[in-house]
């Protein structure tokens, strides 16, 4: 999904992650449209960002584990200035700290999309979605959670 | 046990400006010469140097000593981790208190473009390390997490943009009385609210002002301090604090981050308390940081810094005159050292038009989020 910059050029996303042996699973899962977080086989604790040893029990037996993607917005900012051309056409956009449902305090940073920026609020229920930025590069993002109304 | 009592006996700044053309070493040397002149000390009187720098801007203490003609260091520390100048201060205090050295120069040099933030070139081979979880989302500067801290405070406690604005306006009024401040024109609330929004709710006027700056303070033992030029200012207590989760975004509580740990630890090591303090220098890398410190240090309750500021308590005659030099938003980013220098000068009683009458106990602080530090200073 190349973006057209203000000067008319189409920018490739220069801000791709450079995965390493700890983080590659996260980005590979994103390509499959899955959100995966490192979980300790020993004590069950989710660690994010990925670590070489579990922070709770020091185990090195850590498995990428698909999570539900259900989450809430802990906090957010509405970016109104682009610090890289890629973001110019996206302004304003929401950068948020997202707390995942699986574990209290398990957080990551992402964007909230799929609603007007003024609708985003702390405590908002969101769910994971995926933006295929370009070949081989997908970003997990979050959108308002599907309404679980009368039909559940 | 805190060891020997430690005093501040000299303070100084380098040439300061947007683009000084001075190297980081030059800035450190200029500031050190100014501090040594203030204290009436010669290079042979100094036997310790502590520096704090950004990782990519290391100013080596041994190099500074060499450039200054300090013949022999009994102790030195060059540090790039943690909470900016307060780290060099804590190292210097601990070194003098323990007797590792008797007279320590502590230094913070910073270049305008050195801090995180601003438009920068990114590596062509992708974003490595923890930044890979931030930068692709447009979370590219400290201003982004700062805005998120403000938003969370507004959510939990009903803090308003006008309350952040009142803090910014009040410290600009102090800057107007400081001939060394860079920004001295008083601000109105409309000026604040209409200033450029970087990431809502954070305005450009919530941010410190990037400059090239060198800052230096000299610490020594009480016995030596008694013979020096100025009435000594003593460190009564000092402490750092960190959080379970280091990252500034992911830590457990943004409104109660590392300043709460540092403050609690600092108060646990003194008989004094918040009611004894009558002047403060609270780090304002972003305005909300100073307000978090007001809460963490117990000058108001959790979540109450907005009303506290709005009531005028950081102004002259208020409960806690704060950042009387104008803060880093107005004197420029000196990464914490200006708070130590200004409070020292206030406790000496040499601040002229902005002098707070009766200033005798001051608190200074630095940083927020994953790591922070503070100190309590007293003029007797």
Q: Are residues B73 and B167 in the same domain?
A: no
The per-residue pLDDT for A150 is 47
Average pLDDT over residues A128-151: 86
Q: What HEC string does B264-289 produce? A: HHHHCCCCCCHHHCCEEECCCCEHHH
Average pLDDT over residues A52-57: 97
Residue A119 is assigned to a structural domain of this protein: yes
pLDDT over 60 at B40, yes or no: yes
Q: Are residues A96 and A136 in the same domain?
A: yes
The per-residue pLDDT for B121 is 65
Q: Are residues A108 and A89 in the same domain?
A: yes
- What 3-state class would DSSP assign to B141? coil
Whether residues A76 and B151 touch (CB distance < 8 A) is answered with: yes
Is B359 buried (19+), middle (13-18) or exposed (0-12) by CB count in 10 A? buried
Token reading at B65: 């000593």
Q: pLDDT of B98-152, one tens digit each?
A: 999 999 999 999 998 755 444 566 777 889 999 999 999 999 999 999 999 999 9
Angle B301-B306-B309 from CA coordinates, rounded to 5°: 95
Q: Are residues A41 and A88 in the same domain?
A: no
Q: Are residues A43 and A105 in the same domain?
A: no
Residue A14 is assigned to a structural domain of this protein: no
Q: Choose one of A48, A66, A84: the last residue of a domain.
A: A66
Q: pLDDT tier at B253 (50, 70, 90 boundaries)?
A: very high
The per-residue pLDDT for A9 is 47
The per-residue pLDDT for A69 is 98
CA atoms within 13 A on the CB side of B340: 36
CA distance B334 to B332: 6
CA distance B91 to B106: 8
pLDDT over 90 at A3, yes or no: no
Q: Are residues B145 and B285 in the same domain?
A: yes
Q: In the 8-state DSSP scheme, what is residue B196?
A: P
Report helix angle B142-157 to B287-296, nearest 10: 50
The per-residue pLDDT for B114 is 58
CA distance B313 to B60: 40
Give A144→chain B minimum CA distance, Å. 17
- What 3-state class would DSSP assign to B291? helix
The per-residue pLDDT for A148 is 55
Residue B368 is assigned to a structural domain of this protein: yes
A3, A15, A116: best mutation site toward chain B, by most B Cβ within 10 Å? A15
The per-residue pLDDT for B3 is 86
pLDDT over 70 at A8, yes or no: no
- What 3-state class would DSSP assign to B231? coil
Q: pLDDT of B164-185, one tens digit each?
A: 999 999 999 999 999 999 999 9
The per-residue pLDDT for A86 is 86
Range of the domain at B144: 140-209+237-380
The per-residue pLDDT for B59 is 96
Whether residues A17 and B127 touch (CB distance < 8 A) is answered with: yes
Whether residues B250 and A109 touch (CB distance < 8 A) is answered with: yes
Average pLDDT over residues B320-349: 98
Residue B273 is assigned to a structural domain of this protein: yes
Q: What is the mean pLDDT of chain B?
A: 96
- Which residues of B touch chain A, with CB atoms under 8 Å apart? 117-120, 122-128, 130, 132-141, 144, 147-149, 151-152, 155-156, 196-202, 245, 247, 249-250, 252, 254
Q: pLDDT of B47-104, one tens digit each?
A: 999 999 988 888 999 999 999 999 999 999 999 999 999 999 999 999 999 999 999 9
Q: pLDDT tier at B13 (50, 70, 90 boundaries)?
A: very high
The per-residue pLDDT for A151 is 41
Q: Choose one of B169, B195, B225: the last residue of a domain.
A: B225
Q: pLDDT tier at A12 (50, 70, 90 boundaries)?
A: low
The per-residue pLDDT for A85 is 85
Q: Are residues A105 and A141 in the same domain?
A: yes
Q: Are residues B105 and B147 in the same domain?
A: no
CA closest to A73 among chain B residues = B152
Angle A111-A116-A122 from CA coordinates, rounded to 5°: 60
The per-residue pLDDT for A14 is 76
Range of the domain at A31: 19-66
Q: Are residues B202 and B97 in the same domain?
A: no
Q: Are residues B146 and B252 in the same domain?
A: yes
Q: Which of A49, A79, A105 sits opposite B138 (nearest CB)?
A: A79
Residues of B in contact with A95 (CB under 8 A): 137-139, 144, 148, 199
Percentage of the residues of chain B whose pLDDT score is greater than 70: 97
Q: Are residues A42 and A58 in the same domain?
A: yes
Q: Are residues A77 and A135 in the same domain?
A: yes
Instruction: Compute and round to an integer the Cα radius of gyration of chain A.
Output: 17
User: Domain tally for chain B?
Assistant: 2
Percentage of the residues of chain A whose pLDDT score is greater than 90: 80
The per-residue pLDDT for B56 is 83
Q: What HEC string does chain A produce? A: CCEECCCCCEECCCCCECCCCCCHHHHHHHHCCCCEEEEECCCCCEECCCCCCCCCCCCCCEEEEECCCEEEEEEEEEECCCCCHHHHHHCCEEEEEEEECCCCCCEEEEEECCCCHHHCCCCCEEEEEEEEEECCEEEEEEEECCCCCCCC
The per-residue pLDDT for A5 is 47
Whether residues B126 and A81 touch (CB distance < 8 A) is answered with: no
Q: pLDDT of B360-371, one tens digit each?
A: 999 999 999 999
Q: Are residues B373 and B288 in the same domain?
A: yes
Residue B132 is assigned to a structural domain of this protein: no
Could you tell me the CATH number of the domain that includes residue B194? 3.40.47.10
Q: pLDDT of A90-106, one tens digit each?
A: 999 999 999 999 999 99
Q: pLDDT of A108-119, one tens digit each?
A: 999 999 999 999
Q: Are residues A106 and A139 in the same domain?
A: yes
The per-residue pLDDT for B120 is 60
User: Domain tally for chain A?
Assistant: 2
Average pLDDT over residues B1-22: 93
The per-residue pLDDT for B119 is 52
Does ipTM surpass 0.90 in this model?
yes
Whether residues A77 and B201 touch (CB distance < 8 A) is answered with: yes
Whether residues A17 and B196 touch (CB distance < 8 A) is answered with: no
Percentage of the residues of chain B whose pLDDT score is greater than 90: 93
């Amino acid at each position: 999904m190349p973006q057209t910059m203000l000067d008319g050029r189409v920018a490739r996303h220069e801000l791709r992650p450079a995965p390493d042996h700890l983080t590659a699973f996260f980005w590979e899962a994103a390509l499959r449209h899955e959100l995966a977080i490192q979980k300790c086989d020993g004590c069950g604790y989710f660690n994010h960002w990925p670590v070489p040893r579990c922070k709770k029990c020091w185990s090195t037996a850590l498995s990428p584990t698909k999570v539900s993607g259900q989450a809430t917005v802990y906090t957010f900012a509405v970016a109104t200035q682009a610090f890289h051309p890629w973001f110019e056409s996206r302004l304003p956009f929401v950068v948020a700290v997202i707390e995942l449902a699986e574990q209290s305090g398990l957080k990551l940073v992402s964007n909230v999309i799929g609603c007007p920026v003024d609708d985003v609020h702390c405590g908002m229920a969101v769910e994971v979605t995926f933006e295929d930025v370009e070949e081989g590069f997908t970003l997990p993002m979050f959108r308002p959670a599907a309404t679980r109304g009368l039909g559940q | 046990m805190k060891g020997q009592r430690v005093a501040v006996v000299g303070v100084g700044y380098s040439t300061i400006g947007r683009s000084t053309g001075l190297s980081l070493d030059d800035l450190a040397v200029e500031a050190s010469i100014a501090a040594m002149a203030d204290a009436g000390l010669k290079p042979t009187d100094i036997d310790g140097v502590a520096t704090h720098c950004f990782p990519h801007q290391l100013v080596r203490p041994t190099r500074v000593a060499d450039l200054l003609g300090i013949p022999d260091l009994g102790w030195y520390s060059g540090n790039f981790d943690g909470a900016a100048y307060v780290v060099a201060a804590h190292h210097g205090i601990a070194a003098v208190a323990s007797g590792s050295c008797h007279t320590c120069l502590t230094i913070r040099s910073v270049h305008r473009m050195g801090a995180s933030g601003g438009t920068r070139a990114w590596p062509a081979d992708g974003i490595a390390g923890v930044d890979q979880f931030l930068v692709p989302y447009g979370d590219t500067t400290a201003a982004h997490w700062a805005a998120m801290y403000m938003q969370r405070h507004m959510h939990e406690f009903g803090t308003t943009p006008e309350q952040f604005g009142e803090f910014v306006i009040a410290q600009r009024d102090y800057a107007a009385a400081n001939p060394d401040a860079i920004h001295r024109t008083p601000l109105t609330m409309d000026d604040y609210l209409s200033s450029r929004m970087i990431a809502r709710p954070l305005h450009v006027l919530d941010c410190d002002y990037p400059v090239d700056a060198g800052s230096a303070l000299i610490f020594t033992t009480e016995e030596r301090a008694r013979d020096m030029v100025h009435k000594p200012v003593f460190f009564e207590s000092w402490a750092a604090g960190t959080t379970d989760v280091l990252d500034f975004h992911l830590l457990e509580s943004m409104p109660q981050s590392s300043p709460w740990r540092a403050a609690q630890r600092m108060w646990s090591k003194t008989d004094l308390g918040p009611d004894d303090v009558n002047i403060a220098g609270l780090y304002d890398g972003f305005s909300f940081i100073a307000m978090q410190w007001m809460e963490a240090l117990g000058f108001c309750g959790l979540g109450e810094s907005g009303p506290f500021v709005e009531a005028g308590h950081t102004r002259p005659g208020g409960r806690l005159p704060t950042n009387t030099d104008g803060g880093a938003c107005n004197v420029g980013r000196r990464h914490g050292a200006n708070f130590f220098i200004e409070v020292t000068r206030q406790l000496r009683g040499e601040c002229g038009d902005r002098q707070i009458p009766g200033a005798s106990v001051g608190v200074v602080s630095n940083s927020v989020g994953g790591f922070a530090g503070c100190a309590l200073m007293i003029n007797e």
